[in-house]
Amino acid sequence: MSGSENVGYGNRRSASQAQGNTRTQRINQLLNQPRPRTSLPFQQVPGLSTAEQKIRDDAIQSLDLPKAPQNLSGEEMVKANYFKVTISNKVDIRKYRISLGQVRGRPVKKRESIRALIENILNTQHKPRNTWWTSDYHSYIIATSKLYDECSDAIGSAISITHTRSIRPDELPEAMIMKSTLFFEGFLQRDSLIDYTNTSDPPSQRLSNMNLSKPSEEYLPLEDLRILNLISWESINCSTFKGGRVGKKFYPTDNNPPEKILNESNKRFSTRNHVYDVRMGFFTSMHPGMDSVLLNVSTTTTAFLPPISLQTWLDARWGHLPSYRGIPLAREKHEIKGVHVTFDLDDVPNRILVISDVNHLCVKGVKWEVVSGKDPSKTVWQHMKNVHTGHTMVFDENASCINVGNTSYPKWLPADHLHICEWQTAQWKLDNLFTAQMLKFAKKTLLQNQREIIRKALIPLGMKNPDPNSGSKKWVSPYEECGMKVEERLLEVTSKHLLHPSLTYNSKCNKKLQTASWNLVGVKGFNVGEKYPELKIVHVTANDFIAPDSPKNEQVLSFAKALAVKLKDHGLGTQAFNGKLVPTVAWPTNDKNKTYDSVQRRSAFNILLDKCVGKSLPSLLIVVLPSKDATIYSDVKWWGDCHAGIATVCVGPPAVKFQSAGLLSNLSLKVNFKLGGINHVIGNSENYYGFRGCIPTQTDKVNRVMIVGADVSHAGKGPDTGCPSMAGIVASFDNKFCHYAASSRIQANNEEFISDLGGMLKERLAHFYTHNKCLPAYILFYRDGMSESQFGMVHKQELPQIQAACEESAAKFGRPNFKKFVTLVVVIKRHHTRFFPLESKDQTKNIAGGLVVDKHITAPNQMSFFLQSHESPLGTARSAHYTVISNEGCWKWKP
């Protein structure tokens, strides 16, 4: 067991032999002493952290949101990746929280150390004997009766636990004694949880029934769901679990090796080591559904850093770059900062170290920081050779020099003797060198996903006997131990399918959709905003290591001719492309003689594009890209949007190669839209473009609806941790909902709350007023990018900004009696709910577009639904989840 928190380096030698004998005797005496458990005076349970308390305060369960009407009958049964949980009315489940004592006057922070200490307490020194129990080995323990005889049933009661920890050679034996505290936090509130899931609202419940100020003493299921989650992970949290754990996800290995992602552009090294391990795992979470508690289980595919030598990984990751010399470039260092490693020559075996920085010099060029009196000119490489002698010790003088200390007290170690710890996810977005391989591994059909869940997830989750053929003691699941039952089959839910709308492309073309996908067969013309008489196109090229399948010039020329014909067919008046060659521009890349930073590269690229396009700028430029490289795409957009001020449409190699009619038509849609045209409208003026019957008001106000969308974009994990986030909104300003104007703001790094939402909305309302000479009567506001724990923040901090912006705009434009009707809907795309057809139907195809699920799996006390708004030909479809936060406009629920 390792309870040490200190990180030390260099040579340590134990005390003299005599002192060693005395020390050993004293340690044995302390180990043989009884380690008591003592009841403590009643005290309040320690408060939650600020972050956790905020999550609770802002949780969706604390809001009395609009309720779902209960008179909607399902038309079709589908399966969802949920399992029904039944809880006996006789359960006696208790939750405890353990607070570890301090080590050398400091709290224990390393998760590995916390786990080791709690495992030693529960499995060895203070093993509970009269109850079934489980733990997350970090904070919480769940038991089916008193964990120890000394425990009380009074919430807030506590006992002191005396136990030992492992100590370092330079610590006194008495330091091994620790005192920790076990708090009783309460019982599973089974009846309250079941009542919470019961849906007894009358059918006439309206969406406008709002009361968002629920008293804080009302029941919230968050803590009880945490208890149930811990029970479901009983075997997964054990040290005997064969696999990895990351947050709410687990990855069973089943003795199967991971898939490997290679750097296929890396030709420098004879042995091509892999850059990432790809593991298939599962996300799980208990949810309150309608009329029952549900266990959600979904598949997940994750890229992990491989447990190999750090220097080997660096060579595999960046060896394709001409400028790479064994040390990652400055802009790439962020990928390994925070990575956990071990030093293979450490005095404390398998001690986990954390990378804080990478030196720009190799180990032969970095001076070893030592105490005064020793050679200050010695390098890290020389120091390692001198200290760690032996014929087997080999140190690469060109290896990267890694800091596992901090800025004030750096500790430099050679990367060739650091080993990456297992089960560390890639915390950054994979670049285009690896995305194709990752997608190949991640793409799974409906049937594959179902099979993975049933065959590989149920045993670790304690739902199936891991050894059904064993004739030994009868197996009892953790759920049975706790008085619960979990069904082993996927939940069947009722669903509806929305009728596909008709689209009006022009006055002579109205088309009824058959599927939720684009099909422009027979569409001869759009409502064109600006003609595009001459096709302007540029071909961007790059080095082969970035784009091995870059389109050739003859392919680009053929593509240009085909696109010009299609643009003319759709009414943009484009002449035939008669050029004999498409102009090319070489994207600036790093080589042995020149290294660009992002500013220098964009500046050079701007000059090249300016020269290629000429002084007479077109209204729109088609740009053929050499690959899906996001950096090249970004540089093209920067030139068009921020430098030249013209619209651009980027085209990738597959489009150039195949030139399908559907793809060329879709490109025509983009061109027409960016030139101010209207590609299509939903329905027609007779049904108010899809809104007839949705708004309970006069006819004239239906034409005064404004649709708004808001989101925040983050820079992600990168070299500049202070890089601001970008918040933006778009809002319609015409009665056909085809034209949108945008406002944006920069704000603090990784801040999801939109700090100036009101200011941006006032700009959009002013724009609406300019075009319509009135303010909108209804605002349908979609908020993207939120999690359920942030719904309270949307209601408490963003909705008031929206309302204030409406009031200030009314005063500004002389409409003091203007009454706002705001309907605020949060849209979540990153969730873990998936839908499958029943066995009797084709399980190789995704659920068709138009699927609506608003029962069974949705939260019982809110208005929410899942909608599959488009066809999904690849993988498993992910329906968007909509939750209504406010419905001042009294929009009607009409699935």
Q: In CATH, what number is assigned to the domain containing residue 727? A: 3.30.420.10
Do 726 and 823 fall into the same domain? yes
- pLDDT at residue 56 is higher than 50: no
Q: In CATH, what number is assigned to the domain containing residue 597? A: 3.40.50.2300
Do 413 and 445 fall into the same domain? no
H-type alpha helices, 401-541: 435-442, 446-452, 478-481
Average pLDDT (715-728) is 79
| Residue 31 confidence class, pLDDT cut points 50, 70, 90 | low
Identify the H or E element spanning 120. Answer: helix 111-120
In a domain, 738, yes or no: yes
In a domain, 274, yes or no: yes
Q: What is the pLDDT of residues 78-93, one digit of tens each?
A: 999 999 999 999 999 9
CA distance 304 to 438: 11
Cα within 13 Å of Cα(266), Cβ side = 21
Among the candidates 366, 389, 421, a domain finishes at 421
Do 656 and 537 fall into the same domain? yes
Do 555 and 593 fall into the same domain? yes
Do 434 and 392 fall into the same domain? no
pLDDT the model gives residue 761: 97
Among the candidates 387, 406, 421, a domain finishes at 421
In a domain, 510, yes or no: no
Least trusted range by pLDDT, from 24-38, 85-99, 383-397: 24-38
- Sequence-ordered list of residues with C-beta below 8 angstroms from that of 28, at least 6 positions apart, any chain: none
Do 635 and 585 fall into the same domain? yes
DSSP string, 345-407: T-SSTT--EE--EEEEEETTTSBP---TTS-TT-BHHHHHHHHS-STT----TTSEEEE-S-S
pLDDT the model gives residue 51: 45
| Residue 130 confidence class, pLDDT cut points 50, 70, 90 | confident
Which of 702, 634, 643 has its CA nearest to residue 891? Answer: 702
Among the candidates 395, 421, 447, a domain finishes at 421
Domain extent at residue 607: 528-677
In a domain, 362, yes or no: yes
CA distance 345 to 480: 48
Q: How many domains does the structure of the chain reveal?
A: 5
Reading the block at residue 38, the tokens are 């003592």
In a domain, 290, yes or no: yes
Average pLDDT (584-606) is 78
In a domain, 86, yes or no: no
Reduced 3-state DSSP string for 705-759 = EEEEEEEEECCCCCCCCCCCEEEEEEEECCCCCCCEEEEEEEECCCCCCCCCHHH
DSSP 256: P
In a domain, 408, yes or no: yes
Cα within 13 Å of Cα(257), Cβ side = 7
Count the Cβ atoms, other than its own, within 10 Å of residue 221: 22
Least trusted range by pLDDT, from 125-134, 218-227, 510-519, 840-849: 840-849
Q: What is the pLDDT of residues 549-572, one digit of tens each?
A: 567 888 999 999 999 999 999 889
Q: What is the pLDDT of residues 134-143, one digit of tens each?
A: 999 999 999 9
In a domain, 743, yes or no: yes
Do 643 and 731 fall into the same domain? no
Do 316 and 296 fall into the same domain? no
Q: In CATH, what number is assigned to the domain containing residue 376? A: 2.170.260.10
Do 332 and 280 fall into the same domain? no
| 451-to-248, 444, 445, 454, 617 alpha-carbon distances in Å | 20, 11, 10, 5, 56
Do 194 and 270 fall into the same domain? yes
Do 659 and 542 fall into the same domain? yes
Average pLDDT (725-743) is 92
Do 719 and 817 fall into the same domain? yes
pLDDT the model gives residue 213: 38
CA distance 289 to 530: 51
Q: In CATH, what number is assigned to the domain containing residue 460? A: 3.30.530
